[in-house]
């Protein structure tokens, strides 16, 4: 779906009015998003879920773009009789993905007898684990899997089985990232510290001149960091990037450590009963490296590419120039939207624009919603971008890393 970009609407807008809680859009103000996620996932202990944030961003009021999107998407579901969540296709797909995950693991650990059997099975297991995250966990974490909270929670917990904390994920991704996409100091997903410069407003360091080469190796270490370091650092600090978060307590804390125990047992301890330690560690690194690159690249192709914007608040304020929905579209890029195989594996995350606009809709619907989004963007003069293939997105991300590693932010043009 290689639709050419349309010029961005640059009209000044006032503060965004409150939205209906039943809306398929996520409420745009971060304080509201924090309260909403906290209420839905931690209703048993709301008093201890308060978090201290950087000053909340305020978005401009819509000129009708968001309302028209909502109206046409509502019309789509009413006209087709389909449900936004609890889709039969999704339950079947989940069964297939989990069977793939379990089958690859069993064959790799208990039946593989040689390297030419083990390597393909390790890669298969890595892809299956990524598919669990893209499809089941991601929809569950965004409450897009089911209308029943306990089913969403169960789906979200597959992330703990994979080795990362679903508790920390929902703060970092579902709250901080989705509310403030590509805004430095607010979007924790584009903050990787001194390792790389992903946005024009971030500090340029001398090592960043090579980041378009070395970052691919760091992507491969992402899952290892999840398993062994990152989650524990954030838990101890009580902070994700610039944001303070409430440390998990009670069952949240039990689930976090139980998930770590289960995942480490699956990928390291149990295999060591059947194979030499060095071999287990070697294949652990292979599996986590493949999975890490897959997970990282899917995010980077959506936000850290040449076509995505990195807006900043208006000077001296926390007010963004555009309305929330326009902001989501212009900071996000789709890719490979014509590929059914890519869409199936990635859980629709090649339709990132649609996902950001409708995070509580099951990804099964994204291809149909994409046609609506493109049409409404064209009518309202909102720029929509899509790379035709995965490779095109990868090359754009490579060029963006190279550009961010060589341009001094003091001499770079303001991107507002």
| pLDDT per position as a tens digit, 87-143 | 999 999 999 999 999 999 999 999 999 999 999 999 999 999 999 999 999 999 999
Which residues have CB under 8 Å from 69's CB, separation 6+?
25, 325, 357, 372, 373, 376
pLDDT at 391: 96
Instruction: Answer whether residue 8 shows pLDDT above 80.
Output: no
Could you give the CA distance from residue 221 to residue 292 in angstroms, rounded to a whole number?
A: 6
Best CA proximity match to 182, nearest among 317, 336, 300, 36? 300
Contact 386, 396 (CB under 8 A): no
pLDDT at 241: 78
Tens of pLDDT, residues 48-61: 334 445 557 888 87
**271-295: average pLDDT:** 96
Instruction: Answer whether residue 45 shows pLDDT above 70.
Output: no
Helix, strand, or coil (residue 209): helix
Say what the pTM is: 0.83
pLDDT at 316: 79
Tens of pLDDT, residues 352-361: 999 999 999 9
* Residue scoring higher pLDDT (195 or 62): 195
pLDDT at 55: 59
Could you give the CA distance from residue 60 to residue 46 in angstroms, rounded to a whole number?
A: 30
- pLDDT bin (cut points 50, 70, 90) of residue 226 is confident
69 phi/psi in degrees, rounded to 5: -60, -50
Buried/exposed 208-245: b ≥16 CB within 10 Å, e otherwise: beebbeebbebbbbbbbebbeebbeebbeeebbbebbb
Question: Which two structure tokens, joined as six digits, stand for 206?
Answer: 């001398």
pLDDT at 245: 86
Buried/exposed 372-410: b ≥16 CB within 10 Å, e otherwise: bbbebbeebebbbbbbebbebbbebbbebbbebbeeeee
Could you give the CA distance from residue 162 to residue 259 in angstroms, rounded to a whole number?
A: 8
Cα–Cα distance list, 275 to 98, 172, 280, 380 (Å): 24, 37, 7, 60
Instruction: Answer whether residue 384 shows pLDDT above 60.
Output: yes
User: Pairing relation of β-strands 319-323 and 243-244?
Assistant: unpaired
**152-177: average pLDDT:** 91
Rg (Cα) of the chain, in Å, rounded? 21
pLDDT at 176: 86
Could you give the CA distance from residue 159 to residue 41 in angstroms, rounded to a whole number?
A: 15
The angle that helices 65-80 and 366-380 make with each other, rounded to 10 degrees, is: 150
């Amino acid at each position: 779906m290689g639709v050419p970009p349309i010029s961005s609407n640059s009209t000044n807008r006032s503060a965004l009015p409150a939205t209906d809680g039943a809306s398929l859009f996520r409420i745009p103000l971060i304080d509201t998003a924090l309260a909403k996620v906290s209420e839905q996932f931690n209703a048993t202990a709301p008093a201890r879920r308060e978090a201290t944030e950087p000053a909340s961003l305020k978005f401009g009021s819509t000129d009708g773009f968001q309302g028209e999107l909502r109206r046409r998407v509502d019309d789509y579901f009413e006209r087709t009789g389909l449900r936004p969540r609890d889709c039969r296709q999704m339950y079947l797909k989940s069964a297939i993905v989990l069977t793939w995950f379990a089958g690859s693991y069993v064959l790799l650990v208990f039946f593989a007898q040689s390297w030419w059997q083990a390597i393909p099975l390790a890669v298969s297991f890595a892809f299956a684990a990524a598919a669990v995250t893209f499809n089941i966990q991601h929809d569950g974490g965004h409450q897009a899997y089911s209308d029943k909270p306990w089913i969403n929670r169960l789906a979200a917990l597959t992330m703990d089985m994979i080795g990362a904390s679903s508790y920390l994920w929902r703060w970092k991704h579902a709250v901080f990232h989705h509310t403030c996409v590509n805004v430095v100091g607010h979007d924790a997903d584009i903050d990787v510290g001194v390792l790389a410069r992903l946005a024009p407003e971030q500090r340029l360091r001398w090592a960043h001149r090579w980041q378009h080469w070395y970052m691919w190796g760091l992507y491969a270490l992402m899952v290892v960091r999840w398993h062994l370091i990152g989650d524990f650092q954030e838990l101890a600090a009580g902070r994700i990037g610039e944001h303070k978060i409430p440390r998990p307590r009670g069952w949240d804390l039990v689930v976090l450590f139980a998930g770590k125990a289960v995942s480490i047992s699956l990928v390291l301890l149990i295999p060591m009963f059947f194979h030499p330690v060095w071999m287990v560690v070697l294949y652990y690194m292979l599996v986590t490296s493949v999975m890490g690159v897959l997970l990282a690249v899917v995010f980077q192709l959506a936000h850290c590419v040449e076509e995505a914007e990195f807006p900043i608040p208006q000077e001296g304020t926390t007010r963004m120039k555009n309305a929330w929905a326009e902001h989501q579209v212009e900071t996000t890029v789709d890719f490979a939207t014509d590929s059914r195989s890519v869409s199936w594996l990635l859980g629709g995350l090649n339709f990132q624009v649609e996902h950001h606009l409708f995070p509580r809709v099951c990804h099964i619907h994204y291809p149909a919603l994409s046609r609506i989004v493109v049409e409404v963007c064209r009518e309202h003069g909102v720029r929509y971008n899509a790379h035709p293939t995965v490779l095109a997105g990868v090359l754009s991300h490579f060029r963006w890393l190279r550009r961010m590693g060589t341009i001094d932010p003091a001499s770079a043009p303001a991107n507002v």
